[in-house]
Amino acid sequence: MNGIFKNIIRTALLVFAGTNSHAQDLHFSQYFNTPMLVNPANTGFNPDYDYRLGGNYRNQWANVGNPYKTMSVWGDIKVFADKFENGWLGLGGSILKDEAGAGSLTSTSGFATIAYHQMVGYNSLLSGGFGVGYTNKRIDLNKLTFDSQWNGRFFDGDIPSNEPFANNNISYVDLQMGLNYAYFASENMYINAGISIMHLNSPKESFFDPSISDSRVSPRYTGFLNANIKIQDMWIVNPNIYVSKMGDAWETVLGVNANRDLGDNGAQQLILGLYYRNKDALIPMFGYQVNDLRITVNYDATISTLSSLNGTRGAYELSIVKSGILPSGASRSIRCPSVKF
């Protein structure tokens, strides 16, 4: 019976992920390492550098049937810093892919984002961003089973499911926007906050016939607050909180990570962190930074009722971010304050 129960759980999760307008977006525990997925106004906000390239991989719920796999690659760059007085543009792009469950529900998205950043006085930075994307979702209906196919002993795929599916492939355009504010209190501290709205256009997303379901993707509202604080020239501590609401679903993650200088110039840094996702998971994090390359890994230890199914095994995640300076150095005519070793 335990196997039957897990099969039903997997099917329910898969169908709701593809048809329920209140389902949560794909996400990463290391949200701070997926800046444009959180807020398009983060595009080009990278003190001391001209560009960033990043990659993320997440494997989730491996103990509950087929694991959910989420991947992304992204990049952004500062441009036209010599064209604006105390300001610059950020241009960015990202590709995301999610593979979910026994029905091979696959979501692939591509986004282009743009943001404008303006210094306000000597200590403040105001940013606004906009993004447009295209999403495609596919599902293999032949791999799904439903309660109507239970013959008393097992799920029989030859029994018609009578589910009103119209297709197994949907696509839509997606819009997003956001605002950021950063305050640089001193060379040893800055505070950054932002808000964003994803799915501005509430795109239609349903595998069912339109006469059965006109399901749409609910707007997702996200806010974050973080700080960078340098302590005794040895540690840079980054406390932060992230809150997101989509339909009736809420996600709150809070915690802290800290960089420890292993030398005397920040060329090598140890990264340690601990986060908590409300009513879901404890998330320890470990990483290492060499010059402009940062690699971090985390493990989500489930503490919700799902732990009885997955044995507290929630997810593991890998993030790689490379920052750099353009050879010409033209975009560095604007130097944003930062906290650094």
Burial of 289 (0-12, 13-18, 19+ CB in 10 A): buried
Tokens of 337: 């304050």
pLDDT at 149: 67
Written as one letter, the residue type at 251 is: E
Return the minimum-mean-pLDDT range out of 4-13, 160-169, 281-290, 319-328: 4-13
Burial of 192 (0-12, 13-18, 19+ CB in 10 A): buried
DSSP helix/strand/coil, 16: helix
Asked if the model's pLDDT at residue 244 lies above 70, the reply is yes
Asked if the model's pLDDT at residue 186 lies above 50, the reply is yes
At 17, which helix (H) or strand (E)? helix 2-19
Confidence of residue 4 (pLDDT cuts 50, 70, 90): very low
Region 124-148: what's the mean pLDDT?
Answer: 86
- Supply the mean pLDDT for the chain: 84
Ranges of each domain in the chain = 2-333
DSSP 8-state symbol, 208: B
CA nearest to 223, candidates 31, 64, 83: 31
pLDDT at 66: 62
| CATH of span 2-333 | 2.40.160.40
Asked if the model's pLDDT at residue 12 lies above 80, the reply is no
Confidence of residue 312 (pLDDT cuts 50, 70, 90): low
Return the minimum-mean-pLDDT range out of 68-72, 133-137, 333-337: 333-337
Within 10 A of 142 (CB to CB), how many other CB atoms are there? 9
Give dist(CA 335, CA 329) in Å, integer: 11
* Contact of 73 with 95, CB cutoff 8 Å: yes
Give dist(CA 218, CA 173) in Å, integer: 14
**Which residue has 């930062």 as its token pair?**
338
Asked if the model's pLDDT at residue 174 lies above 80, the reply is yes
CA nearest to 304, candidates 320, 281, 287: 281
Confidence of residue 162 (pLDDT cuts 50, 70, 90): low
Residue 253 has phi, psi (to 5 degrees) of -130, 130
Give dist(CA 92, CA 94) in Å, integer: 7
Region 313-320: what's the mean pLDDT?
Answer: 88
Asked if the model's pLDDT at residue 9 lies above 80, the reply is no
Region 2-8: what's the mean pLDDT?
Answer: 43
* Contact of 107 with 27, CB cutoff 8 Å: no
Confidence of residue 283 (pLDDT cuts 50, 70, 90): very high
Region 283-289: what's the mean pLDDT?
Answer: 96
pLDDT at 184: 92
* Contact of 180 with 201, CB cutoff 8 Å: no
* Contact of 131 with 176, CB cutoff 8 Å: yes
Structure confidence by residue, pLDDT tens digits, 189-209: 999 999 999 999 999 887 777
Report which of residues 211 and 4 the model is more confident about.
Answer: 211
Structure confidence by residue, pLDDT tens digits, 49-71: 899 999 999 997 655 556 678 99
Structure confidence by residue, pLDDT tens digits, 103-131: 678 899 999 999 999 999 888 999 999 99
pLDDT at 7: 44
DSSP helix/strand/coil, 84: coil
DSSP helix/strand/coil, 2: helix
Give dist(CA 46, CA 90) in Å, integer: 10
Structure confidence by residue, pLDDT tens digits, 292-310: 999 999 999 988 766 555 5
* Contact of 30 with 54, CB cutoff 8 Å: no
